[in-house]
Amino acid sequence: MADARMPEGFYEVVVSLLPPEKQPGPQGGRRAVRHHTVLKVIWFVLVTGCRWKDVPQEIGCSGETGRTRLQAWERLGIWSKIHHLLLTMLNHEKHLHLETAIIDSTQVRAFGGGEATGPSPVDRRKKGTKYTLLVDRDGVPLVIRVAAANRSDHQEILPTVVDCPLVGGKPGRPRTHPQKLYGDAGYDCEATRSVLRWLGIEPHIRHRDGGHGSHLGRVRWVVERTISWIKGLRRMRVRYDRSGVSIDAWTTIAAAVICLHILTEANP
- How far apart CA 247 and CA 129 sit, in angstroms, is 10
- How far apart CA 9 and CA 264 sit, in angstroms, is 9
> Does the structure show a pLDDT above 90 at 248?
yes
Identity at 177, one-letter amino acid code: H
Contact 24, 31 (CB under 8 A): yes
Taking only the tens place, the pLDDT of each residue in 32-65 is: 889 999 999 999 999 999 999 999 988 989 999 9
Average pLDDT, the chain: 89
pLDDT value of residue 139? 94
Domains and CATH numbers, the chain: 97-241 (3.30.420.10)
pLDDT value of residue 14? 93
Residue 111 binned pLDDT confidence (cut-offs 50, 70, 90): confident
- How far apart CA 47 and CA 235 sit, in angstroms, is 6
Residue 4 binned pLDDT confidence (cut-offs 50, 70, 90): confident
- How far apart CA 203 and CA 14 sit, in angstroms, is 35
Contact 4, 47 (CB under 8 A): yes
Nearest-CA neighbor of 6 among 16, 14, 265, 252? 14
- How far apart CA 194 and CA 72 sit, in angstroms, is 40
Q: Would you tell me the crossing angle of helices 63-75 and 244-266 to the nearest 10 degrees?
A: 90
Range of lowest pLDDT (20-29, 118-127, 145-154, 186-195): 20-29
Enumerate residues 6+ apart whose C-beta is below 8 A from 139: 102, 222, 223, 225, 226, 262
Q: Percentage of the chain surpassing pLDDT 90? A: 64
Residue 29 binned pLDDT confidence (cut-offs 50, 70, 90): low
Taking only the tens place, the pLDDT of each residue in 16-28 is: 999 998 876 666 6
Higher pLDDT, 172 or 94: 94
DSSP string, 188-225: --HHHHHHHHHTT-EEEE--GGG-S---THHHHHHHHH
- How far apart CA 78 and CA 253 sit, in angstroms, is 10
Taking only the tens place, the pLDDT of each residue in 161-210 is: 999 988 987 777 777 789 999 999 889 999 999 999 999 999 999 888 76
pLDDT value of residue 28? 62
pLDDT value of residue 102? 96
Nearest-CA neighbor of 41 among 16, 69, 21? 69
Residue 268 binned pLDDT confidence (cut-offs 50, 70, 90): low
Q: Would you tell me the crossing angle of helices 217-232 and 244-266 to the nearest 10 degrees?
A: 110
> Does the structure show a pLDDT above 60 at 213?
no
Residue 211 binned pLDDT confidence (cut-offs 50, 70, 90): low
**Mean local confidence (pLDDT), 74-101:** 94
Enumerate residues 6+ apart whose C-beta is below 8 A from 12: none
Q: What is the pTM of this model?
A: 0.92
> Does the structure show a pLDDT above 80 at 212?
no
Collapsing DSSP states into helix, strand and coil, what is residue 88?
A: helix
Q: Percentage of the chain surpassing pLDDT 70? A: 94
Contact 115, 244 (CB under 8 A): yes
> Does the structure show a pLDDT above 90 at 214?
no
- How far apart CA 35 and CA 24 sit, in angstroms, is 15
Identity at 150, one-letter amino acid code: N
> Does the structure show a pLDDT above 70 at 2?
no
